[in-house]
Structure 1
Amino acid sequence: MLPAEQAQILGSVEAFLAKRLPPAEIRRRDAGHVPPYDLLPEMGELGLFALAVPVAEGGLGADWATVALVQEALGQHAYMAASIFNRVVGFGLASIRAHGTAAQRAEMLPLLMAGRAFCALALTEPQAGSDAAAIRTRATRQAGGWRINGRKTWISDAEGARWLILPARTGPEKEGARGISLFLVPTDAPGIAMTPLPKVGNNCMPSFDIGLQDVALPEEALLGQEGQGFGHLMSTLHYSRASMAATVTGAAEAALRIALDHARTREQFGQPIGRFQAVAHRLVDMRLRVDQSRLMVRHLAQLIDAGAPCRREAAQAKIIATETLRDVADAGMQIMASAGYSAESDMQRLWRDSRLYTFGEGANEVLRDTIAREMGLTARGRA
């Protein structure tokens, strides 16, 4: 049983989702590629974004365990709501709180907590994905600030964001982690061109190719210390990985529920298909995977709340949760057969959306290297 405060928060979340994102509305937005940006102010009014911010900084000061419960609930109901929540909490609030100046925090934290703005992380480039240190976008000093030139790609929710959190090279190095700095780039700055990218799923989280040509920024656009941007990015990765793990655990629970309901009601050979051992055991395995994922998410939340090192556990949680969703959604499609393959099925949306997460937020193969390094098996280096 949840403590009374957590139960109250989750009750508010569930009431909001039932009102604003009923099943028909989720399907409408998915079919029309309509992102959930209009929901942000209401989520802000509920205090959801303020949960992750200490009271001393104007927030509600909830622990990460509570944040993870909210993320799981959002992911179970509608991944689009969870995704935009994570955009604010993981990419925005975590970065600004950790590395922002007093002026940046004073300006941005109230806007982010109120749901009146959010940040998109503009990290990936055509030749730099899992190898984040391979970025080539460059920021050069000019009178009164900086000028940025380069290209970013597969930047989710960029068009709706107020700012891009954008790493660019400021040092003489042409590659590697050294000499990278972070910038807060207003998305309406002259010199920015965005092109939407068609993709298989996650229709309510549009992605963009972004060209930056002589984008002029003031000195105060620098986020954190010059030349320390790569380390700044690595310092908050556990929040974004924990966020994804909790969110996709909720989505996996939804896939299991849909498959289980179908197995109880779909009859073949005179009985519900869930009574056949092959189907029952598949559902049991799905239940095992989802519960294992949830336990890993809870364990990681405890470490975050304790301020303990958790690089390995964050990577583990992300791998376990995203592969759980991928496999559970695939098993659900097999159980439902053509009923799941129908465009009207919620299972097919979970199935196609799930394919992103094992390589989004860090490819799982790279994260396995991270875990190997944390175990002392390979040389230390990348995140």
Structure 2
Amino acid sequence: MDFNLPTDLVAYLARLDAFIEAEIRPLQAQHDNERFFDHRREWARTDFEGGGLPRPEWEALLLQARQRADQAGFYRFSLPEAYGGAGGGNLWMAVIREHLAAKGLGLFNDLQNEHSVVGNFPVIVMLRDFGSPAQQQQFIHGCLDGRYRIAFGLTEPGHGSDATHMDTRAVREQRHGRPGWRIDGEKMWTTGMHTATHCTLFARSSGAAGDARGITAFLVPADAPGVKIEEYLWTFNMPTDHPRVSFTDVWVPDDAMFGAEGRGLALAQAFVHENRIRQAASSLGAADYCVRESVRHARQRRPFGEDLARNQGIQFPLVELATQVEMLRLLIRQTAWQMDQMPHPEVEKTLSDKVSMCNYWANRLVCEAADRAMQVHGGIGYSRHKPFEHIYRHHRRYRITEGSEEIQMRKVAGFLFGYMGPNKF
């Protein structure tokens, strides 16, 4: 049993660090771009008078960083070679995401916008696995080069974790001699809709409320008649690009159907395990950063003429957090490695509980670590001159949005008590 990271992965991290130092940090230092990362970050990023949306100059800077990463060969790492990637697996992506998050805030990795120099591409994977040949031809490279951006419309005002009771309806209807679908409903948290060209919209097309089957996905043009952004939902961490969107008498042709009719929830689940293990690794890296920064500060701070670090009231909470970081790192890497050893459908059957363990615990841990870092740093830790409040506000969302921790604990319980999984009885 070898717990060492593969030597080629270690070498890749070194090349990634060198690229960040040569290309990304200088870009961050230009034209007062530091305002997006220092104590001014929330105000610099947010157009508070324009609905709380991200400022165009902020999104333009992120795009420039991604383009540099793409030119250097890092951005598409996780994608198949056919799409310009390297086919990076789950273990590599988990280690990379932890490595980047452990660096703190910076243009190289700012997951408030799901931005990173090593990208995450759930929509591309969905198109690869469920799109028609025409959809793959149109959208895959179009999304990668920026011509298309696809939002995700699943959650509704009355239905969050339980998508099977959604109220949005799709009904077959012919218009202008063409077969298609009329869609009516409303979606919440439709992230990125302000710049989206299309929305992956989920609607019940058959069956009864609560049925997993009977929900169909559609690729709906964002500018289709009847699509309306009703409001942008301001959040704990601003800016916001999470609107409530209504769909009223929206018509799409048959070829807008995304995947098989009535099997739309398979799309929503297609990337969940990969996404959760990577996001868990990011939370782990951020937690590690908070602990290390707290230790460094405690060694430098000298209240009453003695190192702050000598106080057990400072030591013991950080010891517990550091211990959890080490244990969680092993579980995340083991789980990611196991995911790489099996076909994707097998992950749901045999490892889904471990992925949920990693994710919900990492999201809880980073919030505890950020809170402790504020406490150890005192007044300056509470201020925006340190990154801990931003880390807390950003990662707190994942205890809800990446499958709430209660939903994930229920998955773990299902495996543990034999209601689902390989030991079902």
What's the TM-score once normalised by structure 1's chain length?
Answer: 0.89
Alignment CA distance shift 1:115-1:12 (3 Å)? farther
Deviations 1:198-218 (A, max 9, x none): 1211x2453211111122223
Pair 1:26-2:37 in alignment: yes
Instruction: Check conservation: 1:296, 1:317, Cα contact below 8 A.
Output: yes
- Larger deviation, residues 290-299 vs 314-323: 290-299
Instruction: Check conservation: 1:71, 1:82, Cα contact below 8 A.
Output: no
Deviations 1:337-383 (A, max 9, x none): 22211133211111222321111111111111111112344368xxx
In structure 1, the partner of 2:281 is 246
Pair 1:135-2:169 in alignment: no
Q: 1:9 aligns with which of 16, 28, 33?
A: 16
Deviation at 1:150, TM superposition (A): 0.9
Distance 2:214 2:79 in 1: 30
Alignment CA distance shift 1:341-1:274 (3 Å)? same
Deviation at 1:225, TM superposition (A): 0.5
In structure 2, the partner of 1:331 is 372
Alignment CA distance shift 1:20-1:66 (3 Å)? farther
- Larger deviation, residues 7-16 vs 174-183: 7-16
Q: 1:281 aligns with which of 278, 297, 316?
A: 316
AA aligned to 2:354 is E
Instruction: Check conservation: 1:88, 1:118, Cα contact below 8 A.
Output: no
Deviation at 1:152, TM superposition (A): 0.9
Pair 1:301-2:341 in alignment: no
Distance 1:113 1:95 in 2: 14
In structure 1, the partner of 2:247 is 212
Q: 1:180 aligns with which of 193, 215, 236?
A: 215
Deviation at 1:249, TM superposition (A): 1.7
In structure 2, the partner of 1:197 is 233
Gaps of 5+ in 2: 47-53
AA aligned to 1:159 is H
Deviation at 1:49, TM superposition (A): 4.2
In structure 1, the partner of 2:98 is 72
After superposition, residues 1-383 of structure 1 pair within 5 angstroms as: 2-3=7-8, 4-13=11-20, 15-21=22-28, 24-27=35-38, 28-34=40-46, 35=54, 37-38=59-60, 39-40=62-63, 41-42=66-67, 43-76=69-102, 77-78=104-105, 80-81=110-111, 83-85=113-115, 89-114=120-145, 117-143=148-174, 144=178, 145-194=180-229, 195-201=231-237, 203-204=238-239, 206-307=241-342, 309=347, 310-378=351-419
AA aligned to 2:15 is Q
AA aligned to 1:18 is R
Instruction: Check conservation: 1:91, 1:121, Cα contact below 8 A.
Output: no
Equivalent pairs counted in the alignment come to 379
Alignment CA distance shift 1:258-1:204 (3 Å)? farther
Instruction: Check conservation: 1:333, 1:351, Cα contact below 8 A.
Output: no
Instruction: Check conservation: 1:119, 1:163, Cα contact below 8 A.
Output: yes
- Larger deviation, residues 287-296 vs 107-116: 107-116
* Higher CA-based Rg: 2
AA aligned to 2:158 is Q
What's the TM-score once normalised by structure 2's chain length?
Answer: 0.81
Deviations 1:244-264 (A, max 9, x none): 112212222232233223212
Alignment CA distance shift 1:98-1:205 (3 Å)? farther
Deviation at 1:64, TM superposition (A): 2.5
Alignment CA distance shift 1:297-1:117 (3 Å)? farther
Identity of matched residues, %? 28
Instruction: Check conservation: 1:14, 1:73, Cα contact below 8 A.
Output: no
AA aligned to 1:231 is A
Stretches (4+) displaced over 6 A? none
Give 3-state SS (helix, strand or coil) of 2:414's partner. Answer: helix
Distance 1:7 1:176 in 2: 49
